[in-house]
Amino acid sequence: MALGLHLLAELQGCRCTPVLLEQAPALEAACAGLVQAAGLQQVAAAFHQFQPAGATGTLVLAESHIAIHTWPEHGLITLDVFVCHYAADNTARAEHLLAALISQFAPAWHHVQRIERGRGLQFSAPVTLPDPR
Amino acid sequence: MALGLHLLAELQGCRCTPVLLEQAPALEAACAGLVQAAGLQQVAAAFHQFQPAGATGTLVLAESHIAIHTWPEHGLITLDVFVCHYAADNTARAEHLLAALISQFAPAWHHVQRIERGRGLQFSAPVTLPDPR
């Protein structure tokens, strides 16, 4: 077991409605809805609007975070879904959310990397602190 | 060349001042200062305070984002530094920032994974959209 699971994706040739890639409020609303539908808990958000179009932002979750950056002039998006397994194994929720996000943006091509975070570490184990030298 | 570089780190046995792991405002201020010192541009922030102690948050950057989650009861931190190479190659800035963050938290142990995002994709190339079938 690891501390958490981090899904990293790049999407190209996105065929969704252009406003999702262009306007931060639309992007944030879409992401927030999919987070809730996946059974994850949003606790904060930060989005930024680029000019003339393009958006970037994060939703901070009780379970860790998602992050999304768009380049509408290239039809490109990067997506991050990171969940820690603190109170439960959140693997299924993370995979569900990533699939829903990819479906929302309808890319012609995408690539996903799955990275275990903190393999060999676990929340339930007591932490042995080193000598304070 | 890739779209960007994502550095993922786990830190254990952090020997920094406890307030950095426990309190969101202190954590955010420390991260914001190191982002600025690394020559990266913060455009938004979202942090959340856990009770009784623990913090989680993100700084959205013009160059992409950083994210940090702390578990003070276990002396654990996860760190993400993700920079895209849109206007410049930001590899050196990302590595400088990660090293500064690790130094700030003074872990007894840490592990870093370096992930290229969007290998084979580039911002300057025209995007060929598929047939709209």
CA-CA distance, B56 to B49, in Å (whole number)?
A: 7
Q: For residue A125, is pLDDT > 60?
A: no
Q: Residue B64 catalytic?
A: yes
Q: Residue B84 catalytic?
A: yes
pLDDT band at residue A124 under the 50/70/90 scheme: low
The answer to whether A113 contacts B118, with C-beta atoms less than 8 Å apart, is no
Which of B7, B31, B41, B60 is most worth mutating to test chain A (most A CB atoms within 10 A of its CB)?
A: B60
Strand order through the sheet with A76-84:
A42-49, A55-61, A64-71, A76-84, A4-12, A109-117
Q: Where are the beta strands (DSSP E) in chain B?
A: 4-12, 42-49, 55-61, 64-71, 76-84, 109-117
Q: For residue B72, is pLDDT > 60?
A: yes
At B29 the pLDDT is: 98
Q: Which is the catalytic residue, given B6, B14, B65, B69?
A: B69
Q: What is the ipTM of this complex?
A: 0.90
Q: What is the pLDDT of residues B25-34, one digit of tens each?
A: 999 999 999 9
Q: What is the pLDDT of residues A42-85, one digit of tens each?
A: 999 999 999 999 999 999 999 999 999 999 998 999 999 999 99
Torsion of CA B90, B96, B97, B102, to 10 degrees: 150
Alpha helix positions (H), A38-87: none
Cross-chain CB nearest to A117 (options B10, B58, B127): B10
% of chain A at pLDDT higher than 70: 92
Which of A82, A114, A117 is most worth mutating to test chain B (most B CB atoms within 10 A of its CB)?
A: A117
CA-CA distance, B113 to B69, in Å (whole number)?
A: 16
CB contacts of B113 in chain A (<8 Å) are 115
Cross-chain CB nearest to B67 (options A13, A67, A108): A67
Q: What is the pLDDT of residues A89-116, one digit of tens each?
A: 999 999 999 999 999 999 999 999 999 9
Q: Residue A65 catalytic?
A: no
Residues 23-42 of B with CB under 8 A from A: none
| Coil, strand or helix at B89 | coil
The answer to whether B43 contacts A56, with C-beta atoms less than 8 Å apart, is yes
Cross-chain CB nearest to B121 (options A12, A86, A127): A12
Residue type, B12: Q
Q: Which is the catalytic residue, given A6, A65, A69, A85?
A: A69
Task: State the pTM of this model.
Answer: 0.91
Q: Count of CB atoms within 10 A of residue A68's CB? A: 26
Q: Specify which residues B14 forms β-bridges with.
A: none
Torsion of CA B94, B95, B96, B98, to 10 degrees: 80
